[in-house]
Amino acid sequence: MAKKDNLPPRSVQWFGRDDIYGFIYRSWVKNRGVPQDQFDGRPVIGICNTWSELTPCNTHFRVLAEHVRHGVLEAGGFPLEFPVMSLGETLLRPTAMLYRNLASMDVEESIRGNPLDGVVLLGGCDKTTPAPLMGAASVDLPTVFVSGGPMLSGKYRGTDIGSGTNTWSMSEELRAGKITLEEFHEAESCMHRSHGHCMTMGTASTMASMVEALGVGMPGNAAIPAVDARRNVLARMAGRRIVEMVREKLVLSKILTREAFENAIRALAAIGGSTNAVIHLIAIARRVGVELSLDDFDRLGRGVHTLLNLMPSGKYLMEDFYYAGGLPAVLRELGENGLLNKDALTVNGRTIWENNKDAQCWSRDVIHGFKKPFKKDAGIAVLRGNLCPDGAIIKPSAATPKLMKHRGRAVVFENIEDFHRRIDDPKLDIDESCVMVLKNCGPKGYPGMAEVGNMPLPPKLLKKGVTDMVRISDARMSGTAYGTVVLHVAPEAAAGGTLALVQNGDMIELDVARRTLNLLVSEDELTKRKSRWQAPKPPLERGYWKLYFDHVLQANEGADLDFLVGKSGPFVPRDNH
Ligand code: FES
């Protein structure tokens, strides 16, 4: 089935034919007024659009796609826009992550099955970056990613408020009785006041930064606000550039190299980015055949300082980041400190260093330099121990320093419903030295590995002024959240990991400096408990949920479906009639 080298370009195998198939392939496309000369062998560019009103962060993508289209036409290409499944964090239940792999299949098959020579991917809300990239990576055509850009800063009673970050903090204040319901509702209208994705350094902004650091997006991709005209210019330039990339045969796998992923991992540490990027980068890498492990994140991120003073780790927002110089200023800092593979190629045909070596920083309060970093040695720490033999992660820059070495009594919640049922109970046997443990929220358990790892604290402790506690789960955490939260415990409870065996009153020891997380219970006792453990049934016995449950990999492997790892390439399938 693989395309042979002596075959004409992909789109020509549809549009460049004189037989009945050529008639069929061209004639129906002409129905909206496409002239014959568009079928002369010029590069056909797919504009893969994750627009949806069910994904509020991506609702400006029809306009963005038009700018890409203009760029493609200006460069002599033939643009064809197509929709794919969109995944919105805020509305989609039980979690958008459940559908990331499904959307990636949609993207992969839509690209391969159609007469496309190159593709521009549009994404914004969290999963709408990794899903298209995973799908496109498994086809491996020339590809450019255009992010939708962050919203303008939230403004509430004279102060900046950030997506998610202030949602969590104001929700805690409401539960502690420190703000009124009216104030809470007012903030709701002040937080999200323009097109774009979350404007904290949450998962969407992190993944847009990863796109730029990987070299798969144009310089400036990470931070230009969604409503800034320069976002549209970037989309237009991407449209022009993809046509050249097809002519240069610059396919995605030439960009997504091991060196590019190493750059992304270091950039992730420098921006204090979302823990979700760990799972997504591993999943994308495995699609192109680059082996990336959890340990790469710990090893490469160690010694990298967090430079950005952005929520949730700091106080500024993405708009400030853009005005201060954006990701180019961060990449320059990495390069000048020996932390960048400078020769990594990017989609504009230049190396990452050529793109960023002259980048300017306009505010050292927002983008710190390496000599005076915002936070030292942050990165993402990968923990191991009998509680997480295949790894777990914690984001030190979002954690409380004095809790990074902690021993405490486990207070166990068997699932998220159990948590919600008991957390507000004044009689709950818990104090601030306890370790909150949440089970069955991993890939199989939830299903889909929801962002519930940053469990809200018990109101009775909030009222005492407690602001953080050690929390452990097999779940993920929103990139906009914070706290001493251990995530992605693997294997997860629903797969029979040690997490499933933790009981109320067990002692747990966390030591981030030593990268350990242990359940202080004897092996004999754990063996006894394991013999009584029963594997859960699939949450649904049919459809995608069943497919997902049967085939999802654990967090340390990127939580992809086992049969999606790798690529099938851009072969042209058989004629359809
Ligand atoms: Fe879409 Fe945060 S909800 S990026």
Residue-wise pLDDT tens digits, 291-331: 999 999 999 998 899 999 999 889 999 999 999 999 999 99
As a whole-number percent, the residues of the chain with pLDDT over 90 amount to 92
What average pLDDT does range 3-12 have in this prediction? 75
Cβ of 125 below 6 Å from ligand 1: yes
Contact indicator for 489, 388 with CB cutoff of 8 Å: yes
Assigned token pair, 404? 């990074």
57 lines ligand 1 (CB under 6 A): yes
SS3 568: coil
- pTM attached to this predicted model: 0.96
What is the number of other CB atoms lying within 10 angstroms of the CB of residue 201?
A: 33
pLDDT for residue 378:
76
pLDDT in tens, 53-90: 999 999 999 999 999 999 999 999 999 999 999 999 99
Q: What is the DSSP letter of 561?
A: B
Q: Which residue's alpha carbon is nearest to atom 1 within ligand 1? A: 125
388 C-beta closer than 6 A to ligand 1: no
Task: Indicate which atom in ligand 1 lies nearest the CA of residue 202.
Answer: 2
Cα–Cα distance, 154 to 171 (Å, whole number): 16
Q: How confident is the model at residue 3 (pLDDT cuts 50, 70, 90)?
A: very low
Could you read off the pLDDT of 549-568 as tens digits, one per residue?
Answer: 999 999 999 999 999 999 99
- Single-letter amino acid, residue 319: E
- Tokens representing 11? 């789109």
Q: What is the band of 481 on the pLDDT scale with cuts at 50, 70, 90?
A: confident
In the reported structure, the alpha carbon of residue 300 is separated from the centroid of ligand 1 by a whole-number distance in angstroms of 28
Of 443, 463, 442, 444, which Cα lies nearest the Cα of 453? Answer: 442
Q: Is the shortest distance between the CB of 89 and ligand 1 below 6 Å?
A: yes
Q: Is the CB of 163 under 6 A from ligand 1?
A: yes
Reading the block at residue 278, the tokens are 């760990």
**Residue 480 CA: which ligand 1 atom is closest?**
2
Residue 198 CB–ligand 1 contact under 6 Å: yes
| Interval between CA 364 and ligand 1 midpoint (Å) | 27
- Percentage above 70 pLDDT, the chain: 99
| pLDDT given at position 388 | 98
CA separation for the pair 506, 529 (Å, rounded)? 13
Q: Would you call 159 exposed, middle or buried from its count of C-beta atoms within 10 A (0-12, 13-18, 19+)?
A: exposed
* Residue 204, ligand 1, Cβ within 6 A: yes
Distance of CA 93 from the midpoint of ligand 1 (Å): 14
Q: Report the Cα 298 to chain-centroid distance in Å.
A: 18
197 lines ligand 1 (CB under 6 A): yes
Instruction: For ligand 1, atom 3, name the residue with the nearest CA.
Output: 89
Outline where DSSP puts E strands in 124-250.
143-147, 154-156, 159-161
Grade residue 5 by pLDDT with cuts at 50, 70 and 90: low
For ligand 1, whether the C-beta of 451 sits within 6 Å is: no
AA identity, residue 529: R
> Is the model's pLDDT at 129 over the cut of 80?
yes
Q: Is a pLDDT exceeding 70 seen at residue 176?
A: yes
| Nearest in space to 451 (alpha carbons), one of 471, 479, 424 | 479
Q: Is 136 a residue whose pLDDT tops 70?
A: yes
